[in-house]
Amino acid sequence: MPTQNHQFTAIQFIVCCTIVLTSVQSDPVFADSQGLSVGSVVISELMPNIDDNEIDWIEFYNPTETKVDLKGCILSDSNDDKLIVTQPLPIEAKSYLVIASGRETDAPASLSQPAWQFSAQNFQLTTGPDQVELRCNGKLIDRVTYHQYSPGPASKSRGWQLSPSALNNVKNDDLNNWCYTNLPVLSEDNYYGDDKVASPGRENPQCAHNVLPYIYVNDQQAVLINGIDWATTMRIAEEELSSDLATAELTIWAIRDQVISPATAKKISSLYLNNISRLYHAKPVAMIDSNHAVWHFAWAISNLYRNGNDEVKAALKSAYDDALTRPETLPRFRLIAVDNVLGDQILMGDAHNMARSFVREHVVVPGNPDYIQNYEEYVENRRSGLQIFFINILYKTKSFFEGVF
């Protein structure tokens, strides 16, 4: 008997060691849902279902150096819908993962073949206000709250996305770090399907307010320039429009958010109607082409009309009606032009530093040293080619445009 006991103990020892070794030799950089901590997974983008024919999807990001698994985690919203992850759902370190309520054709692989397809009957994102909450092993890992989800008219859907500079569970609590996925300008990387704009399964583009510091939404008071010499500024606008360059309309664009008189509105309307068709054949300046020119002229008329009083609206009515039709004629910049010209939100301001430089070289404001003081100063700057220099710098830098809109 002692011998048998000794043999049994030896076998037990061997089996025990084998189990221990097997456990130790398993993936050392893998944490299941039991080991997840607050912020180890971040909700980074989502697309609520805006009609019954569309799918919902949610993107997660793993900011850690360790692969994690969401199996056993619970996803919920403010309507108490709950979704339990019943299968292994690993997210590699520093990587993204997308789950969706269906498969979408003509879409990135992360949507045509989502990591997990859940039932919309069990869990559905609303158009807001709503929140998405991820809990694992009873711990709150991340929570995102969003208000009314209503992307602009340019797209049937846009992702509601976190800025790539805010990929943690603290910064993604700040709504200022969220935005609709920017419309593509030079690149169509974020454009798919039926006018959908998003970046499922990969790094989000920068939010527009991070790269366009001088854009204001529905806030005319923030962009008003006091003391404009309208006679001289309009003289400059006319002179610019006499050129055959794709930058010819930008002086009108520069004053699109200002308070104008009915007489100025009538003049601008005439300039627009007499030149808009010609701009389709304008000569490009660096990367500013005829599409850009038509977009900006229509955008200018839209802002002036919508910000104007009844008399200004009456003077601009013909130009405004025409401007509303122009975005759909553009093979390039169509989506962003639709948003700028027809969108519910009025986008105002100089947008970025180079545009601000252009504005200050073309709008005459006597007594304000930030702007040119008279027509002669405009002529001198034009001779020096400063405005073209600024624009070339801006539009030659393709990386600047990547993700701007």
- Whole-number Å distance between alpha carbons of 378 and 371: 10
Q: What is the pLDDT of residue 176?
A: 86
Q: What is the pLDDT of residue 18?
A: 31
Q: What is the pLDDT of residue 238?
A: 98
To 10 degrees, what angle do helices 375-384 and 386-396 make?
50
- For the chain, which domains are there? 33-207 (2.60.40.1260), 215-399 (no CATH)
Q: What is the pLDDT of residue 365?
A: 98
Q: Which residues of the chain have pLDDT under 50?
A: 1-30, 395-405
- Whole-number Å distance between alpha carbons of 153 and 67: 39
Q: How is residue 155 written in tokens?
A: 């797209």
Residue ranges of the alpha helices (H) in 36-158?
109-112
- Whole-number Å distance between alpha carbons of 244 and 286: 14
Q: What is the pLDDT of residues 310-355, one digit of tens each?
A: 999 999 999 999 999 999 999 888 888 999 999 988 999 998 888 9
Q: What is the pLDDT of residue 134?
A: 95
Q: What is the pLDDT of residue 333?
A: 87
Q: What is the pLDDT of residue 188?
A: 64
**Can you spell out the DSSP letters for 37-90?**
-TTSSEEEEEE---STTS--EEEEEE-SSSEEE-TT-EEEETT--EEE--S--E
